[in-house]
Structure 1
């Protein structure tokens, strides 16, 4: 291959790196250092444009809200366990990030897809409430037991929900976001709770899904943004664990013996005691 062909092979609009010069999305890095926040930098790098101040603050709120949920979360627990295995912070963080899949970490992306389905259904002349009911039924018919973004195994009402949705409402009022995905999410929440004695409110995944979708991020990026957010908590927990002196920390304390679910080998028959029976 020629030099030009090799250069084109790695062609990118994200960055331009040359001797003594670095540009990120066409902006010299020297012009960004000290002048842009990390949330706004994420926006710039992913989307190729700077957000407005209000857009950046709303994205920052979502990123801050998702940083940690303690060792209850598998990603955090794995970060702490890996940190005691002599692998270093980078491996501990990578081990934790690699657990962020469909069941743990993917609900934000799935919730954006759910809300998009509601808006698509509503665009076909159905009211948003009717569309939410139809989409819930359709997702249930596909075998979805837990709707992504709603309910929580630990909280009766996720403490992050209300402050995040309040910020979205403010952003709708000031014209920063349109509010369509917020309305869809609230419609799903209402439809989901009809006839229930125990409410199933929106959770962190649902609230951040609303923010990401309102800001125009496609569904797959909702998961990527959550990974960036949770990486902060992963780093903090891994670092704390390295200072606690444990080695080879397992998922349960050493005194706990996991329940054995396999079969026990047959016990050999006891020797026949003829003396006891008076047999000579």
Structure 2
């Protein structure tokens, strides 16, 4: 009977040797940055200087957004209950979903599908926004509960121009922002998720890696929040709203 093996093209392990995508890890250490190593494991090749600069910016952009996002609340709450750092960080990662953190994946999928269509970015964007409007669906990657203009978006788009990674996907995203404003009669700015989605699409990454980019970036922030909770706060402390309101049934007795 033939023995079955797990197959992977990512890392080869031998006694005394570790090769990531064919490169000796000892040679990579001290030679490439963490962002370049992330690019390597995801794309299979080492990035150019321009690619490395964009990936570095993308990973920095989503590293943290304060203590209020669901992932941070989950991580700090689990730690506060007496759990380990790894369990708490895992809880934070599990809180990342289609509404929080998932917009990168959703937006990248739409951009990559629509960018293949014929027509100018403006024409494709107008048709997409009308389609979403008719279906009463939101466009992921646009709008922010706090930022009228997301400073991370501004910087990422500027870097995309500087590094020559401004392509059809970013063009399309910019046109979508304009079409949304026309349709809604108010500005719905491209947020960092939309900017990351457009950037990784123009860099040739599969949309299925969208959440992955957010997770790789945000885990560092989650570790910092969990450590802060561990070292600065008392266990089982009150987190979140100062009060809760009960709106269930009034007191009643069991009838048997």
Q: TM-score, normalised by structure 1?
A: 0.85
Runs of 4+ in structure 1 off by over 6 angstroms are none
Matched, 1:242 2:230: yes
Structure 1: distance between partners of 2:183 and 2:212: 35
Mind listing any 5+ residue stretches in structure 2 that lack a counterpart?
none
Q: CA RMSD in A?
A: 1.8
Counterparts of 2:172 and 2:214, CA distance in 1:
21
Deviations 1:148-185 (A, max 9, x none): 1111012121121111111112222xxxx351111101
The question of 1:160 aligning with 2:139 is answered no
Residue 195 of structure 1: CA displacement?
A: 5.7
Deviations 1:244-273 (A, max 9, x none): 1321234436xx331111121369xxxxxx
2:142 to 150, 173, 188: 150
Range that drifts further, 133-142 or 42-51? 133-142
Q: How many residues align?
A: 253
Q: Do residues 218 (structure 1) and 206 (structure 2) align?
A: yes
Q: TM-score, normalised by structure 2?
A: 0.92
C-alpha separation between the residues in 1 aligned to 2:121 and 2:247?
A: 49
CA distance in 1, matches of 2:252, 2:21: 69
How many Å separate the matches in 2 of 1:170 and 1:23?
33
Deviates more, 1:154-163 or 1:51-60: 154-163
- In the alignment, is residue 58 of structure 1 matched against residue 57 of structure 2? no
Counterparts of 1:193-232 in structure 2, within 5 Å, are 193-194=181-182, 196-232=184-220
Pick which of 16-25 and 57-66 moved more.
16-25
Contact 1:111–1:206 (CA<8 Å) still a contact in 2? Answer: yes
1:198 and 1:246 map into 2 onto residues whose CA distance is 44
Verify the 8 A CA contact 2:166 2:199 in the aligned structure 1. Answer: no
Q: 1:245 to 1:251 in 2, by over 3 A?
A: closer
Hey, what does 1:84 align to over in structure 2?
A: 80
In the alignment, which residue of structure 1 is the partner of 2:132? 139
Deviation at 1:22, TM superposition (A): 1.1
1:24 paired to 2:20: yes
Query: Distance between the aligned counterparts of 1:44 and 1:127, measured in 2?
Result: 33
Q: What's the CA shift string for 1:64-107, capped at 9, x where partnerless?
A: 00011112211011111112222111111100001111111110
Larger radius of gyration: 1
Out of 232, 244, 264, the position equivalent to 2:250 is: 264
Q: What per-residue deviation string (whole Å, max 9, x for no partner) do you get for residues 172-211 of structure 1? A: 2xxxx35111110111011011165531111010111111
CA distance in 2, matches of 1:136, 1:232: 35
Match of 1:277 in 2: none
